[in-house]
Amino acid sequence: GENVEQHPSTLSVQEGDSAVIKCTYSDSASNYFPWYKQELGKRPQLIIDIRSNVGEKKDQRIAVTLNKTAKHFSLHITETQPEDSAVYFCAARDSSYKLIFGSGTRLLVRP
Amino acid sequence: DAGITQSPRHKVTETGTPVTLRCHQTENHRYMYWYRQDPGHGLRLIHYSYGVKDTDKGEVSDGYSVSRSKTEDFLLTLESATSSQTSVYFCAISESDGNNEQFFGPGTRLTVL
């Protein structure tokens, strides 16, 4: 079945710098890749997603890139702000239409 | 937030007792999911439902059962709780299969002593 690996597990950046979180997946049939943000004590919420027919998608300060050949996708956050501090999860939809999540990245943005 | 509620929000129970968690939605979405969240493991799918009385297993289904008798309710039952089932449980809903956004409920923190 699908396996999703996420790196790094923790990431600390200075406010204003960029942050990059990377995920790899194993099932070449996967075609949908969402990213969720979870603030402390809150529920996960979708921040951006990408489908396999595109290589990049942007939404203001966040972007996601997908490399189908290498089976990896990345989340890029530019001009980070303290409110970006949270745990971020990547996921991939497997061939049986279920989402398989990565283990999460704890992002800390230092003021 | 999408119309999803979970009850109870917190529960402490003892090993060997049965526990039922409830997920209720007001969005009339077809798909409902139960996940557990543990440090270092992200979100792992326990069971999911693709319609009334239609359910299937996820990646960590042992020790859990589910039922969906109405579109709006999805119940997760631990027949005999064990300490390894101490976790935060999230319900999620989506209009269609995994290709559409999943909206998560507020979570239930379960402690099994």
Predicted local confidence at residue A48, as pLDDT = 96
pLDDT at B58 over 70: yes
Residue B37 C-alpha from the chain's centroid: 11
Closest B-chain CA to A31: B99
Closest B-chain CA to A102: B42
For chain B, say whether A26 makes contact (Cβ under 8 Å).
Answer: no
Average pLDDT over residues B70-91: 97
Cβ within 8 Å, pair A44-B43: yes
Which comes out higher in pLDDT, residue B2 or B6? B6
Closest B-chain CA to A104: B42
Pull the structure tokens for residue A21.
Answer: 């979180």
Of A45, A49, A104, the CB nearest to B42: A104
- How would you label A76-110 residue by residue, b for 16+ Cβ within 10 Å and e otherwise? bbeebeeebbbbbbbbbbbeeebbbbbbbbebebe
Separation CA B14–CA B112 (nearest Å): 5
Give B80→chain A minimum CA distance, Å: 27
For chain B, say whether A35 makes contact (Cβ under 8 Å).
Answer: no
Run of H or E including A90: strand A86-93
Cβ within 8 Å, pair A100-B59: yes
Cβ within 8 Å, pair B98-A93: yes
- Rounded to 5 degrees, φ, ψ at A94 are -85, 180
Q: Is B92 helix (H, G, I), strand (E, B) or coil?
A: strand
Average pLDDT over residues B98-110: 89
Give the model confidence (pLDDT) of B19-50 as tens digits: 999 999 999 999 999 999 998 888 999 999 99
The model's confidence at residue B84, banded by pLDDT at 50, 70 and 90, is very high
Mean pLDDT by 10 residues, chain A (111 residues): 93 98 94 95 95 91 96 97 97 86 96 93
pLDDT at B107 over 80: yes
3-state helix, strand, coil in chain B (%, to 5): 5, 60, 40
